[in-house]
Chains A and B, each alone.
Chain A
Amino acid sequence: DGGITQSPKYLFRKEGQNVTLSCEQNLNHDAMYWYRQDPGQGLRLIYYSQIVNDFQKGDIAEGYSVSREKKESFPLTVTSAQKNPTAFYLCASSIDLVSSGANVLTFGAGSRLTVL
């Protein structure tokens, strides 16, 4: 079945460490996204990518980095510069970014990062 796989589902990190969250999709979607979710808040966009080797900052990109070396993969690195990294991270993909219709995002199951 096609979908998005995020790993790990749970991750614990010590302060000062970088961690990388994996996101893989087999939907043949061009666009991929990373969102962050905090309790009582909606989803906030961290980074997004339209095509391989290209990505753009979202609303809260500071302290994060991404790469898009393959169409299927869009890993997110949470660096030590991110001051409040404890959150739930969701990866998503869509057929393309620009659409006049229902460009529906398909989401993964998420990764929960806790900084100790």
Chain B
Amino acid sequence: AQKITQTQPGMFVQEKEAVTLDCTYDTSDQSYGLFWYKQPSSGEMIFLIYQGSYDEQNATEGRYSLNFQKARKSANLVISASQLGDSAMYFCAMREYLRSYNTDKLIFGTGTRLQVFP
């Protein structure tokens, strides 16, 4: 079965500094996708960034970048120039293909709580 592991329950970073949130995954599929979502205290999940398993370049979206190391099965999120508004829960997720139903679903890690201080 596929699995996502986030080993950092909480992280602190000073405003304007960069921070890396760790994510490792386990899958036997050759084709898969990795996602990062942000969950502020309001509760809704906000999509940040996506990396496909065949993408040769690391994904970037503004201040977010994904450090994709396929051999190590890691997909760490890097946030540059942290802002106070970045304080939130961050979830790593992977798309799992269900052959029996010809559908897919997302499986999520347990999340990392990031706190940005002035």
Contact = CB atoms under 8 A, between A and B. Distances in A.
Interface in A66-112: 88, 90, 92, 97-110, 112
Nearest to B95: A103
A43 to B, nearest CB: 4
Given A45-B105, A99-B104, A107 B4 contact: no
A41 interface: yes
Q: Is the interface of B mostly helix, strand, loop or mixed?
A: strand
Given A33-B105, A56-B103, A42 B45 contact: no
A23 B33 CA distance: 26
Interface residues of B, number: 29
Contact of A108 (B44, B107, B110): B44
18 contacts: A48-B103, A48-B105, A56-B103, A58-B105, A90-B43, A90-B45, A98-B102, A98-B104, A99-B95, A100-B31, A102-B50, A103-B33, A103-B95, A104-B50, A105-B45, A105-B106, A106-B47, A108-B44
Interface of A: 33, 35, 40-45, 48, 50, 56, 58, 88, 90, 92, 97-110, 112
Interface of B: 4, 9, 31, 33, 35, 37, 42-47, 50, 52, 91, 93, 95, 97, 101-111
